[in-house]
Amino acid sequence: MNKKEGNGSARKRKTDSVHKTDDSVIPSDVISAFRVFQQELDTRHDKYERLVKLSRDITIESKRTIFLLHRVTSVPNVEEVLNEAENKLDGVRQKIGQIAEELRAEDLYQFHKAFTSGVQEYVEAVSFLHFIRHRILISLEEINAGLVFLKDEKKETKVKGECPGACVLTFQVTPADYLLGVADLTGELMRMCISSVGNGDMETPFELSNFLRDIHDGFSYIGNMGPYEVSKKLHTLRQSLGKVEDACYMLKVRGSEIPKHMLADVFSGRTAVLDQDEGLA
């Protein structure tokens, strides 16, 4: 072996010794600390995934409740539909109770992104039901009052944040989630307006128009001081209000000229034209 090959072998052995890692070289307390960090990260990631799944289930059930509530414009027994929707929302609240349990002794905003979409959909569903019953907008305090859960702890535990015996858990909907849910509600009210017109209801569209105008005014007062997503949904809110106002105009001016069973078709065609002018179709 010549001198050049010998130097190359020496350099290779030296490089291998530098890149080789061994637990015996690293202090044991450092290894223990990183293993604790690994366990904490794995636990946090698992919790995040569970919250995402719960949020997905809440979204699905809330959408089903909203679809059910749209039947109130065409069924004779409205109260039966509302009671069924309330039962569905009770199931959704149980899912939110599971989120509250997952967030026990945790910072809500560290996991907020995992479940915010589901909470917004729940706000939309419960506010839609509340409007149909009472014709007013449900408040954030009323929503949070319905999200108090009693958990029965069978045995004592030393886990931080848990409590023995009966334990009361609460989930607080954030103001941002409440505003975004109400913004989405306006689209459902616009669809309710179309259904009412199709069923020959001449009063509901004007009632919805006044209600949507009040919501629009409230969002306008917020302006750029609210969450970023609110400013994006404000455009959709204005579109929904415009379509409802257009329906009211048509009913007021041409309502006597068009048969009731044709009003929905005329209004739907008018809505399609408006969407095309705005570049949505």
Q: Domain count of the chain?
A: 2
Considering the domain architecture, whether residues 194 and 231 belong to the same structural domain is answered as: yes
Identify whether 11 is part of a domain: no
- Predicted confidence (pLDDT) at residue 194 exceeds the cutoff of 70: yes
Specify the higher pLDDT residue, 215 or 25: 215
99 and 71 within one domain: yes
Contact status, residue 194 vs residue 264, Cβ threshold 8 Å = yes
The residues with which 167 forms a beta bridge, in sequence order, are 151
Length of the chain: 281
Q: Percentages helix, strand, coil for the chain, rounded to the nearest 5?
A: 75, 5, 20
Residue owning tokens 């007062």:
221
- Same domain flag for 37 and 152: yes
pLDDT the model gives residue 97 = 94
What's the CATH code of the domain at 75?
A: 1.20.58.190
Q: Residue 197 contacts by C-beta under 8 Å, 6 or more apart in sequence?
A: 205, 247, 251, 263, 264, 267
Where would I find the H helices in 199-259?
204-222, 228-254
**Portion of the chain with pLDDT greater than 70, in percent:** 74
Residue 18 lies in a domain: no
| One domain, residues 169 and 191 | no
Residue type, 229: E
Domain boundaries, position 113: 33-173
Residues 58 and 130 both lie in one domain: yes
Residue 86 and residue 162 in one domain: yes
Is 169 in the same domain as 37? yes
Helical residues (DSSP H) of 103-259, grouped into ranges = 112-134, 140-145, 175-198, 204-222, 228-254
Q: Say if residue 169 is in the same domain as residue 182.
A: no
pLDDT band at 9 (very low <50, low <70, confident <90, very high): low
* pLDDT band, very low/low/confident/very high, at 208 (cuts 50, 70, 90): very high
Q: Are residues 46 and 67 in the same domain?
A: yes
In angstroms, the Cα distances linking 238 to 95, 206, 245 are 33, 16, 10
Instruction: Report residue 14: phi and psi, to 5°.
Output: -65, -40
Confidence (pLDDT) at 155: 45
Q: Mean pLDDT throughout 172-197?
A: 91
Q: What pTM did the predictor assign? A: 0.79
Residue with tokens 């599971």: 98
Tell me the per-residue pLDDT of 49-59, one tens digit each, with 9 for 90 and over.
Answer: 999 999 999 99
pLDDT at 182: 94
pLDDT per residue as tens digits for the range 127-170: 999 999 999 999 999 999 999 998 766 544 444 445 555 688 99
- The structure tokens 């949904």 sit at 233
Co-location of 64 and 151 in the same domain? yes
pLDDT for 239 equals: 86
Same domain, 149 and 85: yes
CA nearest 229: which of 159, 180, 181? 180
- Tens-digit pLDDT profile for residues 102-135: 999 888 889 999 999 999 999 999 999 999 999 9
Q: What local confidence, expressed as pLDDT, does residue 278 receive?
A: 47
